Amino acid sequence: MEIKRIGVLTSGGDCPGLNTAVRAVVKSAINNYEYDIIGFRDGYRGLVENRFRRIELSDVSGILDKGGTILGTTNRYNPFSVPFDKDGTKTLRDMSERIRENLAMHSIDCLVVIGGDTTIRYASMLCEKGIPVVAIPKAIENDIYGTEMSFGFMTAVNTATQAIDKLHSTAEAHHRVMVLEVMGRVSGWVALESGIAGGADVILIPEIHYDIQKVARAILQRRNAGKGFSIIVAAEGARPVGSVVKSIEDTRGDFTYQGGTSNLLAKELESLTSIETRITVLGYLQRGGDPSAYDRILSTRFGAAAVKMIHNGEVNRMVCMDQHTIKSIPLHETAGRIRVVPPGSEITEIARDMGVSFGD
């Protein structure tokens, strides 16, 4: 198939590196293959509603180091289940045929989708409808199955590590336990790596259920050893042993973890240890700001690789990293799966060697 025009969109939660990836797609496509580029606004919503813009080289000038995305994004839109009001009754419609019509209207030969696990799952579903797609993985949580690294992750780890560094001084001054809650509903990579980098004393992740008594014991052992403060890094999806986690399908059709454990954790620890405990929730600070040098390089590599794949006819695949080499994986192999921290992995064992408690 001769390629003349490709489409591109960013979808899901924003993260550092999205603009860099868009820039790489546009520059590689125009400079190397003279493709036309059509960008769709606000993710799949723009694709369904046909909100678009033609993108030229001048449009991506100066965005390499900028956070956010010039195309906009949304993480609350499922193109296969779009709500409509019909005679006062709410109905849900599959708009994939509308997507096909809009792509045909613009003579788009292949669509580049930049997003996380839900975005990639929808991309795989579009492939099943006969729409050629190449996906680029981004994820703060680094939880996309099939790639050892997604862009946005290392910037989030840097942000969390800086927060831990700052919490150390105030924790020591006030002899407190400081709990830092970071992103990670079902995957604890941010908590694990930032915790190691920042010298946390306790790291709590979804993959290893914690015993609050053992967490308290680790804190009291530090106090008995002359350390009057402790730093705990907790993924938002960390939970105690025996807890029941409920998941729901919300209006986006996403898996959603119901609840975080930081507030309950802090209250229980203060009761068990009699040490003042304070919480800091990083939240959207992990999504904002300029991408790190690592993420700029990775998103550039991903973007250029995606265009080369299209040129070579390698569609319906996701760009990925395998042993630091850029490769690709069929979309159906990654869609609907999550990359989690193996409890007995080398990195968790290194953390234990450093004296970190996982509360297990």
**Can you tell me the distance from the alpha carbon of 10 to that of 19, in angstroms, rounded to the nearest whole number?**
9
The whole-number pLDDT of residue 2 equals 85
pLDDT tens digits, residue range 65-124?
999 999 999 988 999 999 988 777 889 999 999 999 999 999 999 999 999 999 999 999
| CATH 3.40.50.450 segments of the chain | 5-151+291-334
For 217, the token pair is 């014991």
The whole-number average pLDDT for the span 44-68 is: 96
Closest CA to 284 of 198, 182, 186, 190: 182
| Res. 179: pLDDT tops 80 | yes
| Res. 348: pLDDT tops 70 | yes
**Can you tell me the distance from the alpha carbon of 70 to that of 64, in angstroms, rounded to the nearest whole number?**
11
Higher pLDDT, 255 or 358: 358
**Can you tell me the distance from the alpha carbon of 39 to that of 63, in angstroms, rounded to the nearest whole number?**
15
- pLDDT-derived band at 40 (thresholds 50, 70, 90) equals very high
At the topology level, CATH places domain 155-288 in Rossmann fold (3.40.50)
Q: Which residues does residue 338 pair with via DSSP β-bridges, in sequence order?
A: 144
Higher pLDDT, 324 or 246: 324
**Can you tell me the distance from the alpha carbon of 137 to that of 320, in angstroms, rounded to the nearest whole number?**
7
The whole-number pLDDT of residue 26 equals 98
The whole-number pLDDT of residue 245 equals 57
| Res. 28: pLDDT tops 90 | yes
- pLDDT-derived band at 260 (thresholds 50, 70, 90) equals low
Q: Which residues does residue 319 pair with via DSSP β-bridges, in sequence order?
A: 328
**Can you tell me the distance from the alpha carbon of 56 to that of 338, in angstroms, rounded to the nearest whole number?**
35
Tell me the pairing of strands 36-40 and 52-54.
antiparallel
pTM for the model:
0.92
Average pLDDT, the chain: 93
- pLDDT-derived band at 257 (thresholds 50, 70, 90) equals very low
For 152, the token pair is 């946005």
| CATH 3.40.50.460 segments of the chain | 155-288
**Can you tell me the distance from the alpha carbon of 210 to that of 206, in angstroms, rounded to the nearest whole number?**
9
The percent of residues in the chain predicted with pLDDT above 90, rounded, is: 88
**Can you tell me the distance from the alpha carbon of 98 to that of 298, in angstroms, rounded to the nearest whole number?**
33
The whole-number pLDDT of residue 259 equals 47
CATH number, span 5-151+291-334: 3.40.50.450
Cβ–Cβ < 8 Å for 207, 216: no
Instruction: Kindly tell me the burial class for residue 277, based on how many C-beta atoms sit within 10 Å of its own C-beta (0-12, 13-18, 19 or more).
Output: buried
**Can you tell me the distance from the alpha carbon of 209 to that of 111, in angstroms, rounded to the nearest whole number?**
40
**Can you tell me the distance from the alpha carbon of 21 to that of 152, in angstroms, rounded to the nearest whole number?**
11
- pLDDT-derived band at 193 (thresholds 50, 70, 90) equals very high
Rounded to the nearest 10°, the torsion over CA 311, 317, 321, 326 is -20
**Can you tell me the distance from the alpha carbon of 99 to that of 226, in angstroms, rounded to the nearest whole number?**
63
| Res. 255: pLDDT tops 60 | no
Those residues with Cβ within 8 angstroms of residue 60's Cβ, 6 or more apart along the chain or in another chain: 19, 22, 23, 26, 27, 70
User: 251 vs 6, 92, 150, 248, CA distance in Å?
Assistant: 29, 10, 26, 10
Those residues with Cβ within 8 angstroms of residue 177's Cβ, 6 or more apart along the chain or in another chain: 171, 219, 229, 230, 231, 232, 266, 269, 270, 273, 275, 276, 277, 278
